[in-house]
Chains A and B, each alone.
Chain A
């Protein structure tokens, strides 16, 4: 489809399309220039400092370590907390009253 072919459909179509006039307004909408100028000249946020970037990484690393430590010691934590749960259940006054009543 060479553009110089007078009868090629694309050429004829674009020739017709070029006749369409865009009558829309090209002036900036009210307040647009003020808003854009204010945003454009606003002082930019300084980049995160080296310390800030490293603290975020350290926080992420600490979270990972916590999760890993919890996962690897889960059985130990579960065994230690189980008797306390039983004790807590027996220490419960409501449970004791129900127990006596029955």
Chain B
């Protein structure tokens, strides 16, 4: 979506509604970066990102008639993408167990640094921190995981999350609270294990 200014989205949508294949291809190419970023951020385990992206685009084409133009088209597609990801996350019955022994050397170092107030996480350890965050949020329920990810990693506001997911603000806050409480317990458990 780099060439947002030059892309005639409204015209393209009109042509897609007339079942123009070339316009549909242009639309997919235009929206792919947006969709793939959402998919990569919320990708469930053992699901290929290309398969999930294809499913999202198929839903977009199927529901095209329902788009009324009340919100920007990209927001509407983002919502489809996020709800498709969460459906896949919900379908995963089991969540992987989080074990200290499974952490890589860098991840253990990062965890040690964040749990000790006097140590700072180095800039070179950002990727390990990213991996560690995903291992931790994998322990949460899919809905809680989604909220905490949007709130703390993507730094979206409650209002933005509410609009994206179609949930009311109170529900988003409750889920965020519940997720943070679970994460706190997880950290306490890790601290205890580290000491022992």
Contacts and interface: CB of A to CB of B under 8 A. Distances in A.
Interface of A: 1-3, 7, 9-22, 24, 26-29, 32-41
A17 B129 contact: yes
Contacts of B62: 40
A37 B32 CA distance: 12
A3 B130 CA distance: 17
Given A41-B21, A41-B24, A14 B133 contact: yes
B58 interface: yes
A13 to B, nearest CB: 5
Interface stretch (B3-11, B65-73, B77-85, B119-127): B119-127
Contacts of A9: 114-115, 187
Given A18-B153, A38-B21, A40-B60, A13 B32 contact: no
A34 B54 CA distance: 11
Contacts of A20: 126-127, 129-130
A10 B187 contact: yes
Contact of A10 (B32, B53, B126, B180): B180
User: 9 smallest A-B Cβ distances: which pairs?
Assistant: A40-B61, A37-B24, A16-B129, A26-B33, A19-B126, A20-B130, A16-B121, A28-B32, A20-B126
Nearest to A38: B21
B14 interface: no
A20 B37 CA distance: 14
B27 to A, nearest CB: 8
